[in-house]
Amino acid sequence: MKGKVLIIACFAAFFLTLTNIAQAGHITRHQIKKLFKHSLIVKDHFTGFALYDMDEKYMVYELNSGKYFTPASNTKLFTFYTCLRMLGDSIPAFKYVIHGDSLIFWGTGDPSFLQTGLKATNGFNFLENSGKKLYWSSGLYQNDMFGSGWAWNDYNDYYQAEINEFPIEDNVAVLSAGKDGKLQISPAILSMYLKCDSSYKPTRFRVTRDMLSNTFIYPAMPVPANFHQEIPWKVSTTLTASLLQDTLKKPVIEVHLPLPADAKVVYDDNADTVYRHMLQPSDNFIAEQLLLVCSSAKFGVLNTDSVINYSKKNFLNDLPDEPQWADGSGLSRFNLFTPRSIVTLLCKISNQMKNDSLLHSLMPAGGVIGTIRSAYKTDNGQPFVWAKTGTLMNVHNESGYIVTRKGRHLAFSFMNNNFTRPSREIRDEMVRIITYIHDNY
């Protein structure tokens, strides 16, 4: 009799546990659904959301998760994952061969070469100390100066640097007031292109570059002492050779030679360092150039379309919805991804990294660093959300990871398109919902 009672008690406990699990899952979905149902902000535009439990491996809640959205800089997550699959632990700076007293080198698209934040110098030091005559062979880059679907009238803005095979110092000129009060430009070799134009009368001191040349036009006005502006320069192989020569302080001759199969590689910066500089401040330049590095490593040429197609076929063919992927940074309006595909991608990134602490250290961290530093508060000094933002006009998205107070590991994608209210209001509502999820689940 006691045995039967024990068996009945065990079954009762088992079914009670199943009931609690089901209720807990139901409550989770129900409560999150209420958050969206009672939100006035998410009702006036197109909103998509997917929340996935990475521990239990099930989708907690979905809203329009199979619909396509403009991702903006969430695109960098696709670039990041492709790099994880195609590159090693360091970024190739260039490929080279030595013939007698000559060193011939080919660009790989490396964004870290003397880049403002990274300042990678391995490649620079190799060239400077080679003791050889230097020949830069151009011609491996096969795309245009801008990515497909970019806005042409953003050419003067720092975030839309032109793409090329051997970038130097971000491909961006820095303009400021010199000690003598005159306008100065860095790299200094560009000083010859500064032009004062009395007919140019902006409301405040501002420099604009001619769209088709490196003529930097400034008004006949006093230069403010604290003036600072960053403008992409117009890339050309001639300018690249001149910049290399000016930086290395030795002759660099441009040639056009095929890349030999036995070319050696010089590596520049640590890959994780470069990824961190791409993801945390959302650096468009680094993202675009990294896809070229992948293309160089796989195909020996620099072609964004080729590496995107390769990644879609070989690494992303198991996503719920096929991505429409056009560039590395997310500047293109041609990019279209679904929230549930981004959540799947986030899980693939986590599985590829196999180290959540390292992965979190590369991402923007709420209340701590990167593009969501000021958006979130920490939980007793500790971040609980690590996410990539994505912002264009009428677009504001956030996709990443949450660790809840109960220790659950979640992946999410929160996408907002076609709103007309200030993006800050969209951001604050996303923060409210994500924080609620962290506090309660």
Query: Which tens digits make up the pLDDT trace of 106-128?
Result: 999 999 998 888 888 999 999 99
Q: Do 94 and 169 share a domain, yes or no?
A: yes
- Euclidean distance between CA atoms 236 and 120, whole angstroms: 22
Task: Name 24's Cβ contacts closer than 8 Å, sequence gap at least 6.
Answer: none
Q: What is the pLDDT of residues 201-222, one digit of tens each?
A: 999 999 999 999 999 999 999 9
Quote the number of domains for the chain: 2
So what's the pLDDT on residue 327? 98
Q: Do 269 and 314 share a domain, yes or no?
A: no
* pLDDT-flagged residues of the chain (< 50): 1-27
The answer as to whether 10 is a domain residue is no
Which of 242, 268, 284 terminates a domain? The answer is: 284
- Euclidean distance between CA atoms 38 and 34, whole angstroms: 6
Task: Name 176's Cβ contacts closer than 8 Å, sequence gap at least 6.
Answer: 183, 184, 186, 227, 228, 229
Written as one letter, the residue type at 54 is M
Residue 262 region, left (φ>0) first, then alpha (ψ -120 to 50), else beta?
A: alpha
The answer as to whether 231 is a domain residue is yes
Which of 284, 310, 336 terminates a domain? The answer is: 284
Q: Do 76 and 88 share a domain, yes or no?
A: no
Q: Do 434 and 295 share a domain, yes or no?
A: yes
Q: Do 195 and 305 share a domain, yes or no?
A: no
Q: Residue 342's domain spans which residues? A: 29-83+285-440
β-strand pairing of 90-99 with 102-107:
antiparallel
So what's the pLDDT on residue 29? 84
251, burial (CB in 10 Å: exposed 0-12, middle 13-18, buried 19+): exposed
b/e string for 396-418 if b means 16 or more Cβ within 10 A?
A: bbbbbbbbbeeebebbbbbbbbe
Q: Do 383 and 311 share a domain, yes or no?
A: yes
Q: What is the pLDDT of residues 335-373, one digit of tens each?
A: 999 999 999 999 999 999 999 999 999 999 999 999 999
The alpha carbon of residue 223 and the mean position of all alpha carbons in its chain are separated, in whole angstroms, by 33
Q: Do 235 and 364 share a domain, yes or no?
A: no
Q: Do 429 and 399 share a domain, yes or no?
A: yes
Which of 284, 304, 338 terminates a domain? The answer is: 284
The answer as to whether 148 is a domain residue is yes
So what's the pLDDT on residue 226? 95
Mind giving me the DSSP string for 282-342?
T-HHHHHHHHHHHHHHHHSSB-HHHHHHHHHHHTSTTSSS--B---SSS--TT-BB-HHHH
So what's the pLDDT on residue 119? 82
CATH number at residue 382: 3.40.710.10
So what's the pLDDT on residue 7? 42
Q: Do 304 and 384 share a domain, yes or no?
A: yes
Task: Name 397's Cβ contacts closer than 8 Å, sequence gap at least 6.
Answer: 69, 71, 72, 74, 389, 390, 391, 413, 414, 415, 416
Are residues 91 and 268 in contact, defined by beta-carbon separation less than 8 angstroms?
Answer: yes
422, burial (CB in 10 Å: exposed 0-12, middle 13-18, buried 19+): exposed
Q: Do 341 and 393 share a domain, yes or no?
A: yes
So what's the pLDDT on residue 186? 96
